[in-house]
Structure 1
Amino acid sequence: MTIVISTEDSVRFQTLAGLKESISARLDRTFDNDDLTDFIYLAEREMERVLPVAAREVTTALSVSAQTSPLPIDFKAVRHITVGSGVSLSLAAASVVANNQCTGCPNAYAIIAQQLWFSPIPNSTHNGTLVYERKIPALTESAPSNWVLDKHPDAYFYGALVQASDFIEDATKIGRYRTMFETVLGQMIEESERYRNSGAPLKPTMIGVV
């Protein structure tokens, strides 16, 4: 049975310096700061690829006045876009959106070359809302915390321990911490689904039918 240690009340785990100290303490080994930075970075990259959690979602105002609009700097994926009187935009093929020369209030979008493209081309300024998944901000000395470390420090801890165990070539520890890391990631995803669904089963709904 895998036992994951709760770190909710542990201040040390929730800072970059404390995380590094905890990694060394758990493995009873002194690592160079650069190596510790690498362990944390590699764990961070894995979480970036696999975590579709509700905590990633943020909302920002959107002003659409041209065919293209820059994406937020921390953008990872679109969840929802509305413009005008709350009209939801549909995702369309990039070629269709890019080649459409009609004008009007946008009803479709595509992501092309790190930009949002709209179709039809806006005929005026249309205000709206973009709900998107944000990237995991990298932990650095100048930015020693982020939303993952704040809410799920054990994910960083066990993920970094996997990398540190690989570095010291300890296969037993790699397997142990890999199991713990994946357990935490799974719990984060399950928690996210409960949050999104409010604990209730989904029911079929007729939308737009009078």
Structure 2
Amino acid sequence: MANLSRITDYPTLLGALEAYLARDDLQAFAPLFVQQAEGRFNTDLRLPEMQMSNGGVDMNADGVPLPADFLDWISVRWTPPQPSTQRQLYLAYREPDSPEFRHRHRPNGVPQFYTVLAGTVRVIPVIAGSLELFYYQRIPALTADAPTNWLITRAPEIYLYAALWEAMLFQKDEERSTQWANLVNDRLKAVFGQGDTLKVGLRAQRAANDAAEMTAAKGIV
């Protein structure tokens, strides 16, 4: 059995997980349980700690590269080149094959919509300026070469409980998987407040912002 010690990084997390499992036949799967837990985090969590910006990138006809650690959108802001009296605009997302993105826009107006195509953020209509992408960053995966990240530093027990949840699912132990799931959710609420429910609120806010920006853009002459 592995020694149970304070969790500070990936190796100590694996040691704690192996100690909790207390089964030689499951210890080899510990890295898999951690990986599955991270997949669940990235699917369910939208926390302030995950919010990132690309800092603003000059735009051209080919668009702006999607960040490698991109997980989900918050917003996209277009800034006109200097000198300009045009205000900054937050753009609305549209699917690349949508009528709005393909032809329902003012060709000579300010940017209205953005989309993602082949890993690139594209804006329509294409006008000089810069794009700042605000997005949720994927939680950096723990590995032997990258043994720490902000989540294990701030709340190592959440990592442990989530990995044990995955281990119980692996064993098809419904009762104990529910117990660990409840512990994960309780700790998320205690450490991060709203926890994964924050995602819903932010998406509703983003939809309201998009609608307001579209209304304002229509009034620009």
The question of a shared fold, defined as TM-score above 0.5 by the shorter chain, is answered with yes
What amino acid is the match of 1:139?
A: L
Residue of 42, 50, 61 corresponding to 1:48? 42
Cα deviation for residue 26 of structure 1 reads 2.3
Cα separation, 2, equivalents of 1:31 and 1:20: 14
What amino acid is the match of 2:44?
A: V
Equivalent in the alignment of 1:97: 101
Contact 2:69 2:138 in 1 (8 A): yes
Unaligned ranges ≥5, structure 1: 1-10, 198-203
Cα separation, 2, equivalents of 1:20 and 1:46: 18
**1:168 and 1:87, CA in 2 relative to 1: closer, same or farther beyond 3 A?**
closer
Equivalent in the alignment of 1:162: 165
Aligned-residue identity in percent: 22
Cα separation, 1, equivalents of 2:171 and 2:196: 34
Contact 1:97 1:117 in 2 (8 A): no
Cα deviation for residue 103 of structure 1 reads 5.1
Answer yes or no: is 1:58 the counterpart of 2:62.
no
Residue of 107, 113, 117 corresponding to 1:112? 117
**1:33 and 1:73, CA in 2 relative to 1: closer, same or farther beyond 3 A?**
farther
Answer yes or no: is 1:131 the counterpart of 2:145.
no
Equivalent in the alignment of 1:200: none
Equivalent in the alignment of 2:69: 74
Cα separation, 2, equivalents of 1:192 and 1:179: 13
**1:130 and 1:169, CA in 2 relative to 1: closer, same or farther beyond 3 A?**
closer
TM-score, with normalisation over the residues of structure 2? 0.71
The secondary structure found in structure 1 opposite 2:7 is helix
TM-score, with normalisation over the residues of structure 1? 0.74
| Number of residue pairs the alignment of both structures matches | 189
Describe the superposition over 1:145-169 as per-residue Cα deviations: whole angstroms up to 9, x where unpaired. 1222222222211011112234455
Equivalent in the alignment of 1:83: 78
Cα separation, 2, equivalents of 1:128 and 1:173: 47
